[in-house]
Amino acid sequence: MQERIGLKLGEFFDPIYTRDPDGIPFFKMLINGEWFFSVSKKMIDVDTPIDGSVIARVSNATRDEVERAIEVAYGSKPKIRNIPGIERIMIFEKAAHLIMKYKDDFVRTLMLEAGKPKRDAEGEVRATVDRLMLTMEEARKIFGEYIPGDWSDDTTGKIALVIREPVGVVVAISPFNYPLYIASAKIIPALLAGNTVVSKQSSEDPITLLLFARILEEAGIPPGTLNMVTGSGELGDYLVPNEKVAAINFTGSTNVGRRIAKTAGLKKLHLELGGKGMAIVLEDADLDLAAKRCVEGSLKNAGQRCDAISAVMVVESVADEFARKVVDEVRNWKHGDPRDPSVKVGPVINLVAAQRIQGLVDDAKEKGARLLAGGSHKDCYFVPSVIYDVPLVARIAWEETFGPVVTIMKIKSEDEAIEIGKKSRYGLDSCIFTNNFYKMWKVAKRLETGEVTINDLPRHGVGYFPFGGSKESGIGREGIGYSIEEMTQLKTIIFNLEPAGLGKAKKVYL
């Protein structure tokens, strides 16, 4: 009989959960500095995609509890605003050290609840620590600016300070694919800018973020400034329209993003939505480099990345050679149980996701694409796949794959690739492989995407470079400093200097 997968945590995390007689942990929520179970007494199972077993349960919050979290956050605004900025930075630096101290707990949890191979789980933890340590640089975006008025006739004798202020209560709603990093990249700049936060993580893998909340609590974030609610997706319907919420920071599907935009009302919206990352490989490209990077961009994190490469357009003259190199490279990406250190591609998040990917691959085959590798799944494990000569009528040519599939399409030139890109409803990321400067510039300028990478795969990383979408891929930009701009509002303070005789006198020129 196979031993049941169990989630083991250090005693530091004891306050946030209890265990049932079978040893399964039941996790609490955090509101106003108190860890507690929902009064509904309803729990949601957290399954591991490794074998489908239940590794934990989390509370399913009620509408009243969600509204209480918002009320607490609204009333706690002075607590975070009254902390000097340098002390907020010190809190985050302490949190970074605490995460490293309990790194093994975070890595194990990510492996179990999200099915991440160990190297990917460790990378996500490192990225979160890096984001915490970069808050000093990020804070510079809060500083504001001074505007002398004597450069315009109607403001001579005046000066202005343009300052950034927190918007208030920020609701952070995060997806399953990077349960620690994406959520933390919303929470950190929101708190750094002086906002309070109500956070809701995907019910597929909510545990790691609860561990992060415990870290911030220990690091010194005041009670009530960060509140965590867990539960089903309908909690968003209670969070989004609430009038005491000033901003919504959401990462997820375009369909949900549309619903948020319709129901949010007069709030700041920061939406990172779906993507169809396209790679363009031209005839003069380094094909070894292109094949290696396109495979990595398609298979990393089992393809479950908003910045993943989910379509590769290759000029016909080099397409066959490129496809052979891709197949050879895919063989280096071992798939299987993520607890095996040699595995690079673990399971997708659940069986429904695996079946959806299967449907996309089967549709492409039915419409004439050639399957060169993989093409099937067992439970949540989708074999790394390569489909070649994919026609434009195939669904996978246009739909977000979010799975470990390298989709190769033939094109005649970069002009055709640009036209295909323009027809896409998405506009998040793209990349081009070429050694011709003029072609790379032409493609980069004409593609309607938020980010274009030259001779490498798109990767957002810690957000040192800003990223975000156009068209149906979202609103706003994330990144070091740029996230701050999304979670603050400008205030202009104008000083009339004339009463003190300090303003520059106007002169009349004939």
- Residue indicated by tokens 């083991």: 8
- Measured at the CA of 284, the angle between CA 279 and CA 287, to 5 degrees, comes to 60
Tell me if 312 is assigned to some domain: yes
Measuring CA to CA, which residue among 440, 405, 409 is closest to residue 423?
A: 409
C-alpha torsion angle, residues 286, 290, 293, 296 (rounded to 10): -140
SS3 125: helix
Which amino acids are annotated catalytic?
Answer: 272, 306
Tell me if 300 is assigned to some domain: yes
What is the span of the domain harbouring residue 143? 11-272+479-488
- Name the token pair of 226: 């960060």
Identify the pLDDT of residue 107: 98
Q: How confident is the model at residue 1 (pLDDT cuts 50, 70, 90)?
A: very low
Tell me if 404 is assigned to some domain: yes
Q: At 329, which CATH number?
A: 3.40.309.10
Residue 3, pLDDT > 80, answer no
Query: Do residues 46 and 193 both lie within one domain?
Result: yes
- Residue indicated by tokens 């063989």: 331
452-485 pLDDT, tens per residue?
999 999 999 999 999 999 999 999 999 999 999 9
246-273 pLDDT, tens per residue?
999 999 999 999 999 999 999 999 999 9
Query: Do residues 83 and 223 both lie within one domain?
Result: yes
Strand partners, 25: 19
Query: Do residues 224 and 179 both lie within one domain?
Result: yes
Query: Do residues 166 and 143 both lie within one domain?
Result: yes
Query: Do residues 407 and 364 both lie within one domain?
Result: yes
* Average confidence (pLDDT) over 147-174: 95
Put residue 509 in one of left, alpha, beta given phi > 0 → left and psi -120 to 50 → alpha: beta
Query: Do residues 32 and 70 both lie within one domain?
Result: yes
Identify the pLDDT of residue 336: 97
Query: Do residues 321 and 386 both lie within one domain?
Result: yes
Query: Do residues 182 and 117 both lie within one domain?
Result: yes
Q: At 38, which CATH number?
A: 3.40.605.10
SS3 107: helix
Taking the C-alpha atoms of residue 471 and residue 73, their distance in angstroms, rounded to an integer, is 32
Tell me if 459 is assigned to some domain: no
Query: Do residues 291 and 266 both lie within one domain?
Result: no
pTM of the shown model: 0.95
Which residue type does 25 have?
A: P
Taking the C-alpha atoms of residue 143 and residue 159, their distance in angstroms, rounded to an integer, is 17
Tell me if 343 is assigned to some domain: yes
Query: Do residues 211 and 282 both lie within one domain?
Result: no
275-296 pLDDT, tens per residue?
999 999 999 999 999 999 999 9
Report the number of distinct structural domains present in the chain: 2
Taking the C-alpha atoms of residue 97 and residue 407, their distance in angstroms, rounded to an integer, is 41
Tell me if 95 is assigned to some domain: yes
Query: Do residues 181 and 123 both lie within one domain?
Result: yes
* Average confidence (pLDDT) over 171-181: 97
The helix or strand, by DSSP H or E, that contains position 123, with its residue range, turns out to be helix 118-133
Q: How many CA atoms lie within 13 A of 296 on its CB side?
A: 13
10 Å CB burial of residue 412 (0-12, 13-18, 19+) is exposed
Query: Do residues 252 and 302 both lie within one domain?
Result: no
Tell me if 2 is assigned to some domain: no
Tell me if 508 is assigned to some domain: no
